[in-house]
Amino acid sequence: MKLLPFIKAFLLPTLLLALTSSCKKEFSNDNYVAYFGGEVANPNNPYVLFCKNNEVIDTIPLNKDNTFFKKFDSLAPGLYSFKHEPEYQYVYFDKNDSIKVHIDSKDFDESIIFCGRGDQKNNFLMEMYLRNEKDKNNMFETFDYPLSKFNEHIDKTNKENQKFYASKKEEIKWSDEFDVYAKGIVKFPHYTKKEIYPMVHKIRTGEDVSSKLPKDYYNFREGIDFSNESLTDFSPFVMYLDHMLNNVGAINYHNHLSECDLELKMNINKLNIADTLIKNEKVKNIVLNNIAFRYLMEDQNVVNNKEFLKTYHKYSTDKSKKNEILKIGTAIQLLTDGKTLPEVQLIDKNGNTISSNAVIKKNTVFFFWSEKLNSHLIAVHKKVLALKTKYPNYEFVAINLDDNTEQWKKDLKKYNFSNITELKCANFEDLRAKWAITKVHRTLVVNADKTIKNGFTNMFEVNFEDQLK
């Protein structure tokens, strides 16, 4: 799509806004009116989501010409994000900004151009983001370098980015509030490289450089405000913090630990470090929740999950109804071996809603799939077809986790996996709350009397078939 029509279409209303604003001299002190709009080429869906701290503030519909526009009667200055699923990007608003953005969903990040009042600082963020992405893609071999060469390489890139930052700050003269993000998008990717170098270098070369690092190697950590609420939803900071906690929480001598127990110890270490490091209660809760959610997404050992959650509850003060960790923790307690599997509602191919209890008429294996994970979809069904022959005393039930019922039916016709009971999740939030479904690879094994034999397993585990004997 050519940008000229877009720019012309935007400049006219922007010019009118500027003219009307100049007639009033300036916005009044208590006026926080702001505007956000733009155009989406090759849209994936008919709307753009406008968000703050991962919460959707507004769903802005696309017009017939794929443009969108929203006037906010009162919009607090700060960092927001816009999503045209599955992609998202940041947009920063100062008081009374009027911003439009061009997006092409086929080349999302590279296509984004901001126009209007407030555009320069946002274009700076986008340019730095693209610089960082390009640099990240070229970093793999750099982690093989010896320490001195590695530092020389990343310091050169950092100096170039710092120079670019300084020139843009002088040119645009942005606010101190925005400068938190402008500095952050330059420094945190640099710090991230330093954090992951010892770990990645060891994996790629076999050399452990930890003992060879200079005493001042991690001195940059002392200048980071880990309790800054403004940074909790800013991905360069979140990514840095994740790598830093992985680095500091790592256990170097662990020959006596299984992989599962090692993950438990490392993640409990991360909780301990976060509690010590972060003084702001709100920020600490967000970080603890992030650590917990990522751990629970991966580890499906019910004993370890309980041990982990014990430490999590010791530090977290987030008792809100929105806290996903509390929901997952409650579900884990309900899924102990020997307990009755909680009832959920499912949908059959005819559109009828049925209870999971009605499905369990003999020993049953529930497994899950999504159209978005095509390779897993095929692999898990093929695995089940093989297992059905070996274990005729078991019923194998596939549950689709996607929202789109029509797409589910199309997929069933396309793949035609015969002799497998195919159902669809009626309410994913209810399923997640009751069965602790955090990833598609989960498998549940249930006895004929509806009691749980194993609520946390995976069909592709080496010893999975032992649970069917």
- Tens digits of per-residue pLDDT, 119-147? 999 999 999 999 999 999 889 899 999 99
User: Which residues, 6 or more positions from 58, have their beta carbon under 8 angstroms from its beta carbon?
Assistant: 49, 50, 70, 72
The pLDDT score that the predictor gives to residue 2 is 38
Q: Is the pLDDT of residue 255 over 90?
A: no
Residue 461: pLDDT band with limits 50, 70, 90: confident
The pLDDT score that the predictor gives to residue 412 is 92
Out of 269-278, 312-321, 330-339, 443-452, which region has the weakest mean confidence (pLDDT)? 330-339
Give the mean pLDDT of 448-469.
Answer: 92
The pLDDT score that the predictor gives to residue 439 is 77
Tokens for 208? Answer: 């452990």
The pLDDT score that the predictor gives to residue 440 is 87
Give the mean pLDDT of 42-66.
Answer: 93
Out of 1-10, 70-79, 131-140, 261-270, which region has the weakest mean confidence (pLDDT)? 1-10
> pLDDT digits over 344-395, tens only?
999 999 999 999 999 999 999 999 999 888 889 999 999 999 999 999 999 9
The whole-angstrom separation of Cα 258 and Cα 217 is 31
Q: Is the pLDDT of residue 5 over 50?
A: no
Q: Is the pLDDT of residue 298 over 80?
A: no
Kindly report the pTM of this predicted structure.
Answer: 0.77
The whole-angstrom separation of Cα 267 and Cα 420 is 38
The pLDDT score that the predictor gives to residue 423 is 97
The pLDDT score that the predictor gives to residue 168 is 97
Annotate 397-459 with three-state secondary structure.
EEEECCCCHHHHHHHHHHHCCCCCEEEEECCHHHHHHHHCCCCCCCEEEECCCCEEEEEEECC
Long-range contacts, stretch 176-180, CB < 8 angstroms, 24+ apart = 177/77, 177/78, 177/94, 177/230, 178/92, 178/94, 178/121, 180/228, 180/230, 180/231
Are 38 and 100 within 8 A, CB to CB?
yes
Q: Is the pLDDT of residue 61 over 90?
A: yes
Q: Is the pLDDT of residue 17 over 70?
A: no
Q: Is the pLDDT of residue 19 over 60?
A: no
Amino acid at 284: K
Are 127 and 119 within 8 A, CB to CB?
no
Are 417 and 346 within 8 A, CB to CB?
no
Kindly state the percentage of the chain with pLDDT values over 90: 72
The pLDDT score that the predictor gives to residue 254 is 63
The pLDDT score that the predictor gives to residue 11 is 40
The whole-angstrom separation of Cα 438 and Cα 324 is 10
Residue 331: pLDDT band with limits 50, 70, 90: confident
Are 84 and 48 within 8 A, CB to CB?
yes
Residue 259: pLDDT band with limits 50, 70, 90: confident
Residue 462: pLDDT band with limits 50, 70, 90: confident
The pLDDT score that the predictor gives to residue 85 is 86
Return mean pLDDT, the chain: 89
The pLDDT score that the predictor gives to residue 277 is 93
> pLDDT digits over 21-48, tens only?
333 334 445 688 999 999 999 998 999 9
In our burial notation (b when 16+ CB lie closer than 10 A, e otherwise), range 274-297 reads: bbebbeeeebbbbbbbbbbeebbe
Out of 72-81, 271-280, 350-359, 456-465, which region has the weakest mean confidence (pLDDT)? 456-465
Kindly state the percentage of the chain with pLDDT values over 70: 93
